[in-house]
Chain A
Amino acid sequence: MLTKNDILSTIEMIDQQHLDIRTITMGISLTDCADASAARACDKIYDKITRYAKNLVSVGEQIEVEFGIPIVNKRISVTPIALVAAASETADYVPFCKALDRAAKECGVDYLGGFSALVQKGMTKADEKLIRSIPEALASTDVVCSSVNVGSTKAGINMDAVRLMGRVIRETAERTNGAGCCKLVVFCNAVEDNPFMAGAFHGVGEPEKVINVGVSGPGVVHHALQSVKGAPFDVVAETIKRTAFRITRVGQLVALEASKRLDTPFGIVDLSLAPTPAVGDSVARILEEMGLETCGTHGTTAALALLNDAVKKGGVMASSSVGGLSGAFIPVSEDEGMIAAAKAGVLTLEKLEAMTCVCSVGLDMIAVPGDTSAETISAIIADEAAIGMVNSKTTAVRVLPAIGKTIGDTVEMGGLMGSAPVMPVHTASSAAFIARGGRIPAPMQSLKN
């Protein structure tokens, strides 16, 4: 039986604590769009996406009205395009990206993910063509996101791909004045049902079409922890679990409703704490609420480990199917508290790297000096991929080389992407390390010390 307090607390979470559904993402398989003619393949891709997702935005808006909860983004993920384009006799994959962009705009979605390649063990000709076309593709489209998986626990790390991605990220930054790099992510252990951008793609093990939902709510967790100031960590963990349960139940409800109305199977709810640059919607502020003066100081990794685990434990019972990335996100530019901590010099790249050992994803939305070399970017990717590979978890790198800017400057992206202070990177060269290429072998799965 609902009480008045229950009802008012839900309204307060939505109104004052930024509770929202971050995204409804429709995954669409494009494997049947492969064609020897690239033009025909692009037409098939456009037709299929616009047919399947034509009601996605309007259904999302109906659900927002009826349940009174904001659904911030409506998105589409598709089969990694390198797999679809491989059948086409062309060296230029940019038209595929343009077809995706047109389809996404026709459907009215915020982003479409899947201009992607999975190259953890090696690159096919199609994978390499796709990767080399990324700078031009992202420079000539608006809402398509690209991702490349360069490593996995089972395959090791493809260091040729890591080397190539350092150059691709630099070139993308140069071609797009940095903006394109917000739409480009390099993964280790990428998941096939992630609803979040820029890394969403529709994996080959997924059905014809599917609805995945990503929840949010750092502000709600922060508010809940304010009521247990000074309490021991067991109380902190229990409080986060209870809050995560409530947040996730809303995600499950919205996912089932969207699935029914779009006649599309429900896939997963991604139990994530996704921050925004708005005050009161920050993961960093949750960590500080636990007793840290500034996010990034000693104790931050432990605080984040507790948060990440408690979110999963609370959320997993609230949904019939959990997947995606499921954990706390720490994108620097998209989190008001992270921005402040980085500007104060407390939150550094090294600390962020340590934090990625215990939470969802990795080095995300971090601006680095404009003169950072491709090899240094590759080395950052290699470090992060190694953490993912050894710890059997997803890690990612989405760095933004700030062309023409240096440490102390700020890059403004606007909207949900926020603003990023340019953070220092090591200037000692990693060039000879990256020049080696080849593959870092998959790690032992026993003798785990």
Chain B
Amino acid sequence: MNAIVTVIGENRVGIIAAISMRLAGFGVDILDVSQTILNGSFTMVMVVNLEGASASFAEIRDALTELGRERALSIRIQRQEIFEAMHTV
């Protein structure tokens, strides 16, 4: 199952590293990363594969939310289907 991780917040050193490490800890495979500074905000979109993950979706979501709280970032993970449903016919 693929999911999309989005990260929005103030740019600081080490955001990508911290998120990648956290995901690697769960055995989550990163398939694609796209990152820019949009209107002054750090904005990253990651496509990840959860098939080999060692934790449930909810546990990974909670860990990312916690990481977001620590670093004052908005981090979310959502299954890819919701975006495909809305934006493809």
Mark A residues whose CB is within 8 Å of B. 2-4, 6-8, 10-11, 62, 65-69, 246, 249-250, 252-253
Which of A4, A62, A69 is the one whose CB lies under 8 Å from B82? A69
Residues A66 and B79 in contact in the complex (CB < 8 Å), given A4-B45, A7-B4: yes
Q: Is the CB of A68 within 8 A of B34?
A: no
Which of A6, A8, A65 is the one whose CB lies under 8 Å from B58? A65
Instruction: Please indicate the chain A residues that have their CB under 8 angstroms from the CB of B45 in the complex.
Output: 4, 7-8
Instruction: Please indicate the chain B residues that have their CB under 8 angstroms from the CB of A249 in the complex.
Output: 85-86
Interface residues of A, dominant DSSP: helix
The CA-CA distance from A387 to B57 in the complex, in Å, is 49
Q: Is the CB of B82 within 8 A of A68?
A: yes
The reply to whether the CB of B6 lies closer than 8 angstroms to some CB of chain A is: yes
Q: List 17 A-B contacts (CB under 8 A).
A: A2-B4, A2-B80, A2-B84, A4-B36, A4-B45, A6-B87, A7-B45, A7-B83, A10-B86, A62-B58, A67-B82, A68-B79, A69-B82, A246-B87, A249-B85, A250-B82, A253-B81
Instruction: Please indicate the chain A residues that have their CB under 8 angstroms from the CB of B20 in the complex.
Output: none
In the complex, the chain A residue whose C-beta lies closest to that of B81 is A253
In the complex, the chain B residue whose C-beta lies closest to that of A68 is B78
Instruction: Please indicate the chain B residues that have their CB under 8 angstroms from the CB of A65 in the complex.
Output: 57-58, 61
The reply to whether the CB of B28 lies closer than 8 angstroms to some CB of chain A is: no
The CA-CA distance from A65 to B87 in the complex, in Å, is 20
Residues A67 and B58 in contact in the complex (CB < 8 Å), given A11-B6, A246-B86: no
Q: Is the CB of A2 within 8 A of B82?
A: no
The CA-CA distance from A302 to B61 in the complex, in Å, is 45
Q: Is the CB of A253 within 8 A of B87?
A: no
Q: Is the CB of B87 within 8 A of A10?
A: yes
The CA-CA distance from A112 to B86 in the complex, in Å, is 30
In angstroms, how far is the closest chain A Cβ from the Cβ of B71? 18
**New A-B pairs, 18, CB < 8 Å, besides A2-B84, A7-B45, A7-B83:** A2-B4, A4-B36, A6-B83, A8-B6, A10-B82, A10-B86, A11-B6, A65-B61, A66-B57, A67-B81, A67-B82, A68-B77, A68-B79, A68-B82, A69-B78, A69-B82, A246-B87, A250-B86
The CA-CA distance from A3 to B84 in the complex, in Å, is 10
Q: Is the CB of B78 within 8 A of A67?
A: yes
